[in-house]
Amino acid sequence: MCKKYELIDDKVEIDGHVLYRIRALKNFGDVRSGDIGGFIEHTRNLSHKGDCWIDDHAKVYEKARVCDDSHVYNNATVKGHARVCGNGQVYDNATLKGHARVCENGQVYDNATLKGNSVVYGFTEVYGSTKVR
């Protein structure tokens, strides 16, 4: 499998985890080779398949996973066992944790928090200061 990104030396520590910034190695979706992305703890956090991407200052760590054609950006955080898949989007200052899922075309943004076993899918949007358990 051809890798689409690499970890670079730019790193941050959050909650005792060291996260590394990513850089695209090839063109895919709206991402161009050389584009700098957000932060991940390890390569299991972001799939090399599909057009999924983590951008800006977004952070994905622990056992969280971003895959398919999903996008996590701005200052969003995805952690725990959370998943963003399909065409899901998590952005602004939104947080996913626990076993929360954003699938298909679901969106979580603003200061919204999804946790526990919450699932957002279809064309559903969760935003504002909403907290879903």
pLDDT tens over the chain, length 133 residues: 689 999 999 999 999 999 999 999 999 999 999 999 999 999 999 999 999 999 999 999 999 999 999 999 999 999 999 999 999 999 999 999 999 999 999 999 999 999 999 999 999 999 999 898 8
Is 78 in contact with 72 (CB distance < 8 Å)?
A: yes
What length is written for the chain?
133
Sole residue written with tokens 């994905």: 60
Distance CA 121, CA 87 (A): 9
Would you state the pLDDT for residue 101? 98
Strand 17-24 relative to strand 36-40: parallel, antiparallel, unpaired? antiparallel
Task: Indicate yes or no: pTM above 0.85.
Answer: yes
Helix (H) or strand (E) holding 56: none
Q: Give residue 1's pLDDT.
A: 63
Chain position carrying tokens 């954003």: 102
Domains and CATH numbers, the chain: 5-132 (2.160.10)
Whether 38 and 24 have beta carbons less than 8 Å apart is answered as: no
**CA gap 71, 29 in Å, rounded:** 11
